[in-house]
Amino acid sequence: MATFRLQGSKMLAVDMTGDSVKAKNGSMVAYDGRMAFKKLSGGGEGVRGMVTRRITGEQMVVMEVKGQGTCWFADRASEINLVALRGDKLYVESSNLLCTDANLRTGTSFTGMRGASQGNGLFTTTVEGHGQAAIMSDGPAVVLRVNRDYPLTVDPGAYIAHQGNLHQSFQAGVTFRTFLGEGGGEAFQIRFEGDGLVYVQPSERNTIAGDV
């Protein structure tokens, strides 16, 4: 299995000994040794991933890198966070996914109102299995624990990913800025309940659902 390690906070190094990884197309910045590259496309594996991305108009292009040596990956100086999966599933916005072990299964999951509120389509990317994934954030990400006694409410513009046994619900018409009188238009919050982790970035992506 490939070995993921960070060099600084904005560069991912992946050591391979005949292994392969899947990475965001165009994110490789250097490599040594002998590598082979293959372009892949679609929001996930199989027909469902292709169809759902086509319906929502999203494009998720990835490349497979295989060989002996080290590859370095980065994307617009984004902060990189390593996530270890042990048979569980990671839900991550497609724009925040940098690289995964090739043996991890990728797919799509319906997100309902959150996708509509962000203008990111109605589906989000899933990564499942045993291995490592690298996700990106605009600024250093914070990992927040959710448990049965402490649910978590998140601004959708700051949400990156989540994993664990979590249930999502959506509250329309309210955002954090609404309380300050700065909100405008329709807005949403995401509420997580259960047991798991939520990854949040200290920067809000642009949305089409008002000031969120």
Which residues touch 194 (CB under 8 Å, ≥6 apart)?
Answer: 146, 147, 148, 164, 165, 166, 167
Contact in structure between 175 and 155 (CB atoms under 8 Å): yes
Average pLDDT of the chain? 82
Band of pLDDT at residue 180, cut at 50, 70 and 90: low
DSSP secondary structure code for residue 116 in this structure: H
Residue 208 CA, distance from chain mean position: 20
DSSP secondary structure code for residue 178 in this structure: G
Residue with tokens 């700065």: 182
Residue with tokens 């569980």: 88
Please say if the pLDDT value at position 157 is more than 50.
yes
Strand 142-146 versus strand 188-200 pairing type:
antiparallel
Residue 143 CA, distance from chain mean position: 13
Q: What is the pLDDT of residue 206?
A: 53
Query: What pTM does this model have?
Result: 0.81
The arithmetic mean of pLDDT across residues 97-123, rounded, is 71
Q: What is the pLDDT of residue 182?
A: 53
Please say if the pLDDT value at position 66 is more than 90.
yes
The beta-strand segments (E) located in the chain are 3-6, 12-24, 28-41, 61-73, 79-92, 97-101, 105-110, 123-137, 142-146, 152-154, 159-172, 188-200
Q: Which amino acid is at 125?
A: T
The arithmetic mean of pLDDT across residues 115-132, rounded, is 71
Which residues touch 17 (CB under 8 Å, ≥6 apart)?
Answer: 68
Report the C-alpha gap between 118 and 120 in whole angstroms: 5
Lowest mean pLDDT among 56-65, 74-83, 86-95, 180-189: 180-189
Spatial CA neighbour of 24 closest among 188, 137, 134, 178: 134
Cβ of 36: how many Cβ atoms within 10 Å?
9
DSSP secondary structure code for residue 135 in this structure: E
